[in-house]
Amino acid sequence: MKRWFLSLVLASFLSLVGCSDPKLPPLASDAKILAFGDSLTEGVGVDPSQSYPAVLARLSGRKVINAGLSGETTAQGLKRLPKLLEQHQPDLLILLEGGNDVLRNVPPDAVESNLGMMIRMAQIKGVPVLLVGVPEKGVFPSTADWYASLSDEYEVPLEEDTVADLVGRLTMKSDYVHFNEAGYQALAEAIFKKLKEAGAL
């Protein structure tokens, strides 16, 4: 009986180890982070100094390049990303995209495929990726399922819940879609926390 109990404890421990979140390599003090995405990355609704990449740069002490483009879909992002990876040679890619696809009812399979190709594109160049999830449409927004699937498939850490949480809080928004200063601050802090948990900072 004792042996059976010890085996059960060991199996549970190994299961927990196997389910641990993917890690990121540590970022040097002079590392460059490419924040890639749509209007939520660009910082629509606030001054550029209050966008999440600008706040993250202050929190992390690293250079964070704001590569957000308002209105962009994942199909458009897939075409834009290669040039930016070549131009900036970043040490980390933060990928926050898919919201415009959801608003335009793009089929989920297409969104997942486009995001997967962007992740793979970065990985081929040796650039680690942090994925940030966005919500599907609904009365109570929750992060689209494909972000967790992509995190598992490509073994990249995922900041899963913050955007969905902020979208549902009027006090954090400047309009129906975009955040205000407090919202972008909260997003930057959540990403900063995830980077620390993943070992990048």
9 occurs within a structural domain? no
Q: What is the pLDDT of residues 110-123, one digit of tens each?
A: 999 999 999 999 99
% of the chain with per-residue pLDDT over 70? 90
- The predicted pLDDT at position 56 comes to 98
Q: How many CA atoms lie within 13 A of 175 on its CB side?
A: 8
Q: What is the pLDDT of residues 82-106, one digit of tens each?
A: 999 999 999 999 999 999 999 999 9
10 occurs within a structural domain? no
Q: What is the pLDDT of residues 8-29, one digit of tens each?
A: 444 444 444 444 689 999 999 9
- Mark 175-195 as b/e (b = at least 16 C-beta within 10 Å): eebbbbbbbbbbbbebbbebb
193 occurs within a structural domain? yes
The CATH number of whichever domain residue 91 belongs to comes to 3.40.50.1110
Q: What is the pTM of this model?
A: 0.89
191 occurs within a structural domain? yes
Q: What is the pLDDT of residues 165-184, one digit of tens each?
A: 999 999 999 998 899 999 99
22 occurs within a structural domain? no
148 occurs within a structural domain? yes
Closest of 147, 193, 188 to residue 166, by C-alpha: 188
Question: Residue 45 is part of which domain span?
Answer: 35-197
Which of 1-10, 20-29, 57-66, 152-161 has the least mean pLDDT?
1-10
Mean pLDDT, residues 120-146: 93
Count: domains in the chain: 1
